[in-house]
Amino acid sequence: MDFEALFKQFLSGDVAQQASILRSLTIFLPELVLSSSIVLMLVARLVSLDRIIPTHWFALLGGMTSFVIVLFQFWEFGNSQTVPVEVFTGLAIHDEFSIFFRGFLTFFLVFVIALTVLTGIPDDEDAPDFYSLLCGAVVGMMLMSSANHLLMLFIGIEMASVPSYAMTGFLKGKRRSSEAALKFVVYGAGAAGVMLFGISLLTGILGTAQFSELAPRFQAVFANHAGMQDPATRCVALALLMIAVGFAFKLSLVPFHFWCPDAFHGAPAEVGGFLSVGSKAAAFALLVRLTTSLAGDGSGALSQLSLSSGLGLGLIAIITTTFGNLAAYSQRNIKRMLAYSTIAHAGYMLMAVSALLVLQSVQTDLVFQGNHQENGPRAMEGLLYYLCVYLFMNLGAFAIVALIRNQTYSEEIDDYKGLAQQVPVLAICMAICMFSLVGIPPLGGFYGKAFIFASVYEATNVHWFMWLVLAAGGLNTVISLFYYLRVAKTMCMDSRPADAVPVTLAASSSPAMYVMLVSGMVVFLGIIIDPLSKVALHAAHALF
Amino acid sequence: MSPETLLTCIVFLPAVWAIPLVLFDAKAKEAMRYWGVLGTALTFALTLQLLMQFDSSKSGMQFKFDTPWIANWNVFFSLGVDGISLPLVVLTGFVCLLSMLASWSIDKNVKGYLILFLILETGMMGVFLSLDFFLFYVFWEVMLLPMYFLIGIWGGPRREYAAIKFFLYTLAGSVLMLIAMLMFYFNSDRSFDLLELAKIASGTSAGRSHVYGMSMQVAAFIMLFIGFAIKLPSFPFHTWLPDAHVEAPTPISMILAGVLLKMGGYGIIRIAFPLCPYGAQYAAYFLAALGVFSIIYGAFAAMAQTDFKRLVAYSSVSHMGYVLLGIAVWKIVDGKTVGREYWEMGLNAAMFQMIAHGISSTGMFFMVGVLYDRVHHRDINKFGGIAQVMPHYAALAAVIFFAGLGLPGLCGFVGEVFSVLACWNFSPLLAIVAASGVILTAGYILWTMQRVYLGPEYKGPHPEALVEMNSRELAIGYTLVATAILFGVLPHLLFDPMHGSIQALTQSLASSYETLYGAIHTSQLP
């Protein structure tokens, strides 16, 4: 092939449903912008530009620009007859689902940067390091959400994880912080190794690493095989289990959750907030993408695969939610409590994925009263809505923790006593976030939960086990009330001890505005549900 | 004003009214209180306006309107009013106004108190007016949060315990309700419309003649019933009530007893019965027996109390038992409803009892509150001789307590006697037991009055504080007494608007059970 042909292929591409390299680069623009802002930040330090322009402006500008580009891509999808394409010769995919998550992540990045500016967690000296790690992690997460290849899956996860390890240990002088980072790294490296092994097994059996090829190959390989006696079946089961371990680590599912409370406890609250929302969202995007491609159209051997993996995830979801809620009950440190609450919420969200897989395992309408085709996208809509609300309510909670820490140097729940008398704004916003985490209308958290429960209920038509999942979800909502309520109670009902460090925050100051904006969004998403729900459903349809 | 605007205003006016409160200076307590009174008074005026516009000769839903809210999930913002919800809406406006007037005793963080109070009113109005199950559920929960804080911040010594207990019980019930709601949603091809769901249940829906399966109806009814029985409250789900009522500040106790408990009864009449007629009939005898047991149990428990407020709280358990009894007296023989007019009478009695209890127990809590504000204790055994020092107050209290007792000529009588009469057709045994509950009620109320108001002199703490009621308190007292007498003498004022709706309800339930019974016998159903 001569140069001209190569160049032509670069420009136009010649494979159906695949974008040319040039087009791929344009689609990849948000990630490129973020990467270049990282480079810019590091160069700016070299030439001491960061003495004149604070580093966070670079990060903020980069985040906003890439968010705007993603918005533009979304608009492009909505308006013209753009079809989903595979980019970079099939390594990644560009559809509404990936756009949704890339938008979600860049939007979240902007909010996290704004929070760190308000709380001043990286000082001027460390700012370039911190923001390059932050932006780098987000690029990794964006890769995760658009991955279309098992290799890309692994690269994305690692790219998101490595900066997270460093950020966890960002408070360099603190022993607990370093310990947390070390724990996180060791666990993470172990889980990644297991996952990589699983990936290679799967690739070996199916002969492909392309997501879109997984289901047909599976169908072909297992057309005549049956039962666990077959070595190939056992091998595939092992591979899936190993990949699941990697996901369970990222999503902090029981029994791979041990790093989570320690990491959150040691890391600054801002980083905790970032990890609890960002990496979770990206991991869910990837999990959904992988499982739906594996499940395919749910015919033949795929039906069994889809059903059993759905039920397996359902079991993990039950254990995770229950464990997370019970463990959170006894926590005295608010960050540890929020860590366990994150674990519990990962369980609720996993219920949506489980319901989706169970629903996809049936092809006929016979067992359903309603329109079966809509069931899968509905389950996804629930998950996406939940994630969006979760962004605000969790970020709000962590932001308030960070703001209070800046004044009292304490993150113990007991030290929050009677804060409503000194800073009513923080107390009210915290109460809103907490009640939304419980899932009480009219706050946003309820709708995500209700939508997910609705899908789980629908899945009970397929398998009785989903009744247990539904019951566990309901019961856990009631259990979780205890510890969320305790925070609200401590802040609003107890009286402030006389010797406690006073906290002051004017309602018109910018941190207060930030907190009000975030918790205001929680209320807003609880009253105006339609727009986001429509966007989420639209994005979910891209998968089916 | 167009009916749509009117209904929307009734629901949202209180919450919107709360917004300007944020701007008030924290020290301007009097101004904020008057602002609150103005808001509740306006809302009450709007409910009266609704009463004027309501056509009591029609039996169906009036002023119904739908606006899409969550279009993807077929959730509508749908409000409407009929003879069953109208009296409760007016009652809510009335009780809220009175308890807002009684809120002068609240001195701590008045701004927060008033904001939560007004949000609470929005939640209650929304529950009674919404015709979409999802919307109903949302409003049902909206009222939880303000109530939690109102008890937890402004309550008595054990307020935190009481508040969390209240919250936990209600949330547990709500989760069950949510699951039942999903059951109907998916079995009706994605609809939350209560009227449509009821139509499907009765087999009269145009497109969907599919009737909910028997096992599903029973399961859904049990879940819905537990959710509502917690609010009602009925034995054995009543244990939150004495704590919450005792610890809540007086005005909030008034709302709790006057309005919140009615939501349980309303939910059973509006949702549990119409949506699962088979399940309801399946459990009818059990419900009636539970109601009777609550009457007797509540009366005995009340008799054993020494805390004045706790006594009134247990009397609520007893009085709400009549509501459950009246609702449940649905007698079926061979798939046919026997003596439907008796059942109708029972439902009428249940509705009347809810309103009457709304007036009498609001009054009783208010009367207890007046005493508590002065002497700061509620121990019945330390009272005595109040009538000597506060004759005016004692006279008003006596009328209110007699209304609670069920003295003929006062509002409490009508509901009790009709539900017992209706029960005779259903089960004479239960009727006899329920009727004997009246003796127990008379026992504990007369004994309480003797210990608190009569006697030679008051020997408890703070005797110097026992001064006659001020004009604000007198206004509340006289209003309550007047309404208690009004409905006792002219019960048709209440029966007239609700009669048509209740007749339509019993007819449709009876016919739908018959259809279902026929379908079971030709075994078309799972």
Query: What DSSP state is assigned to residue A412?
Result: B
Contacts of B148 in chain A (CB under 8 A): 485
Task: Tell me how close the Cα of B159 comes to any Cα of chain A, in angstroms.
Answer: 10
Which pLDDT score is estimated for A383? 92
Q: First and final CA of chain A: distance in angstroms?
A: 38
pLDDT exceeds 70 at position A368: no
Give A424-436 pLDDT, tens digit per residue.
Answer: 889 999 999 999 9
Contact predicate B75/A450, CB 8 Å: no
**Would you say residue A308 lies in a domain?**
yes
* A14 confidence band (pLDDT: 50, 70, 90): low
- Nearest CB to B182 within list A446, A454, A533: A454
Taking contacts as CB-CB distances below 8 angstroms, the residues of chain B near A470 are 179
Would you list the domain boundaries of chain B?
3-521
Residue spans of beta strands (DSSP E) within B275-427:
332-333, 336-337
B525 pLDDT above the threshold of 60: no
How many domains, chain A?
1
Q: How confident is the model at residue A353 (pLDDT cuts 50, 70, 90)?
A: very high
| Among chain A residues, CA nearest to B175 | A474
Percentage of chain A exceeding pLDDT 70: 95
8 A C-beta contact, residue A33 and residue A62: yes
CA dihedral for A131, A133, A138, A143, sign (positive or negative): positive
pLDDT confidence of residue A11: 72
Structure tokens at A541: 């349809």
Cα maximum dimension of chain A:
81
A435 to chain B, any CB pair closer than 8 A? The answer is yes
Of B72, B137, B145, the CB nearest to A533: B72
- Probe site for chain B from A489, A496, A535 (most B CB atoms < 10 A): A489
Residue with the two structure tokens 């970020």: A395
What is residue A367's predicted lDDT score, i.e. its pLDDT?
58
Q: Mean pLDDT over residues A60-78, rounded?
A: 89
Q: pLDDT tens digits for B367-400? A: 988 888 888 888 888 888 888 888 888 889 999 9
Mean pLDDT of chain B: 87
Q: Chain B partners of A348 at a C-beta cutoff of 8 Å?
A: none
Residue A167, domain member (yes or no): no
What local confidence, expressed as pLDDT, does residue A283 receive?
93
Three-state SS for A22-40 is: HHHHHHCHHHHHHHHHHHH
For residue B409, the model assigns a pLDDT of 86
> How many CB pairs (< 8 A) connect A and B?
82
> Among B270, B282, B284, which residue's Cα sits nearest to residue B326?
B284
A51 vs B: CB within 8 A: no
The answer to whether A252 and A343 have CB atoms below 8 angstroms apart is: yes
The whole-angstrom distance between B92's CA and the closest CA on chain A is: 21
Is A370 in contact with B186 (Cβ distance < 8 A)? yes
Min Cα distance A330 → chain B (Å) is 17
The answer to whether the CB atoms of B142 and A493 lie below 8 A apart is no
Q: CA A107: distance to chain centroid?
A: 13
Please compute the mean of the pLDDT values over residues B201-212 and round it to a whole number.
67
Give the three-state DSSP class for A6: helix
Position A78 in a domain: no
Which chain B residue has its CA at the smallest distance from A484's CA? B164
Count other Cβ atoms within 10 Å, centred on residue A306.
Answer: 26
Residue A213 Cα distances to A150, A540, B108, angstroms: 11, 20, 67
- DSSP character string of B334-372: TTEES-HHHHHHHHHHHHHHHHHHHHHHHHHHHHHHHHH
Q: What is the pLDDT of residues A481-492, one digit of tens each?
A: 889 988 988 888
* Segment A225-240, tens digit of pLDDT: 666 677 888 888 899 9
Is B142–A442 a contact, with Cβ atoms under 8 angstroms apart?
A: yes
Residues in chain A closer than 8 A to B167 (CB atoms): 481, 485
Instruction: Please give the single-letter amino acid code of residue A291.
Output: T
Q: Which of B322, B323, B328 is nearest to B343 (CA)?
A: B328
Judge whether residue B507 has pLDDT over 90.
Answer: no
Which range, of A60-64, A82-86, A363-367, B69-73, averages the lowest pLDDT?
A363-367
Does the distance separating the beta carbons of B175 and A474 come in below 8 Å? yes
Contact list in B for residue A477 (CB cut-off 8 A) is: 171, 175
Q: How many residues are given for chain B?
A: 526
From the CB of residue B421, how many other CB atoms can be counted at a distance below 10 Å? 17
* Average pLDDT value for residue range A145-164: 92
- Residue B208 pLDDT: 59
Q: How far apart are CA A264 and CA A320, in angstroms?
A: 17
Confidence of residue A134 (pLDDT cuts 50, 70, 90): very high
Q: So what's the pLDDT on residue A366?
A: 57
Q: Are B117 and B150 in contact (CB under 8 A)?
A: yes
Residues of chain A with pLDDT > 90, as a percent, come to 44
pLDDT tens digits for B408-442? 888 888 888 888 888 888 888 988 998 888 889 98
Range of the domain at A343: 298-544
Other C-beta atoms closer than 10 Å to the C-beta of B111 total 20
Q: Which residues of B touch A440 (CB under 8 A)?
A: 141, 144-145, 171
Q: Is B395 on the interface with A (CB under 8 A)?
A: no
Option in A369, A447, A458 nearest B189 (CB)? A369
Q: Which of A424, A442, A474 is nearest residue B138 as measured by Cβ atoms?
A: A442
- pLDDT by residue (tens digit) across B132-167? 999 999 999 988 889 999 998 888 888 888 888 898
Report, as an integer, the average pLDDT of B234-243: 87
- Mean pLDDT along residues B331-341: 80
**Any chain B CB within 8 A of the CB of A428?**
no
pLDDT digits (tens, 9 = 90+) for A18-49: 777 888 888 889 999 999 999 999 898 888 88
Angle at B373 between CA B370 and CA B375, to 5 degrees: 105
- Residue B205 banded pLDDT, cuts 50, 70, 90: low
The residue among B137, B138, B147, B230 with the most chain A CBs within 10 A of its CB, best to mutate, is B138
Flag if B72 and A537 touch (Cβ within 8 Å).
Answer: yes
Q: Is B31 on the interface with A (CB under 8 A)?
A: no
* Tokens representing residue B380 in the block: 């019945």
Mean pLDDT of chain A: 87
Residue B523 has what pLDDT? Answer: 61
A212-222 CB burial, b ≥16 within 10 A, e <16: eebbebbbebb
pLDDT at B334 over 80: no
Find the closest chain A residue to B76 by CA distance.
A530
Please report the pLDDT score of residue A197 as a whole number.
94
Q: What is the pLDDT, as a whole number, of residue A494?
A: 84
pLDDT at res. A347: 93
Question: Apex CA B495: angle with CA B494 and CA B498, to 5°?
Answer: 95
Query: Which residue of chain B has the CA closest to A374?
Result: B72
Answer whether residue A79 shows pLDDT above 60: yes
CB contact under 8 Å between A481 and B178, yes or no, is no
pLDDT for the residue A16: 64
* Structural domain includes residue A498: yes
Pair B449, B68: CB distance under 8 Å: no
Q: What is the mean pLDDT of residues A264-288?
A: 91
Q: Has residue B89 got a pLDDT over 80?
A: yes
